[in-house]
Structure 1
Amino acid sequence: MQDSNLSEPELLKTILQPLLEDFQYWFARSRTLLETEQLDFLGVQEQTKLLERVKQAQEEVNTAKMLFNATQGQVGIDMATLMPWHQLLSECWKVAMRFRTEQATLQQQDGI
């Protein structure tokens, strides 16, 4: 169990720093999928729009992380900023799951 006597900056570093790293990781994976695969179930325009939203979110997360690091963890991030990132990742995860499901179905059909 974590020490409940952590100072606010220590608490921010303990929680926010890994969260920002997670956002960076998952947005990078989503971007790779959207840039390298043709997702027929989305359509070209919808896939392009989703990719642009991911790129924008990546820039926002990178900026937030730079500010967090520049202030030695003295700055937090408002939930109003975090929630759209979380919602976008949820959307990307659903797209990735559907892509993997369709790929698995195609592989099974090829094996029959």
Structure 2
Amino acid sequence: TVYVSEKDGLTALVDKDGDEVTDEYRKIATWPFGGNYHEFAFGLLYEKGHFYVSTGIAMVPGGATQDPQNVPNRGSTLKINKKTGKVSYVAGGLRTPNGLGRGPDGSIFATDN
């Protein structure tokens, strides 16, 4: 199974028969998405039964922040339970958090541009 973060959620691509072709697209979790071209999801880390991903906010052409935003809670780092799909917000107030990684001690870091 391969896990893919998308603008609006987390999807599992399941190969049921071992032929290396996806047989099932299983939505694990969804989060707010307003349809804006710039509302990307960045990074995908996994640790102890949870995925971590960051979401970007809506922008207007030219790069300015859209105000108001289409939906709440964009510009956040999310924690997703692999079994239940429950989404928790662990950080907010981000613009375009296009880096997600681990420090030398295993801490998770989100960077923002």
Higher percent of residues as helix: 1
Bucket of the pairwise TM-score, normalised by the shorter protein: under 0.3
**More relative contact order, 1 or 2 (CA 8 Å, 6+ apart):** 1
TM-score of the superposed pair, with normalisation by structure 1: 0.24
TM-score of the superposed pair, with normalisation by structure 2: 0.24
Considering only CA atoms, is the larger Rg found in Structure 1 or Structure 2?
1
Higher percent of residues as strand: 2
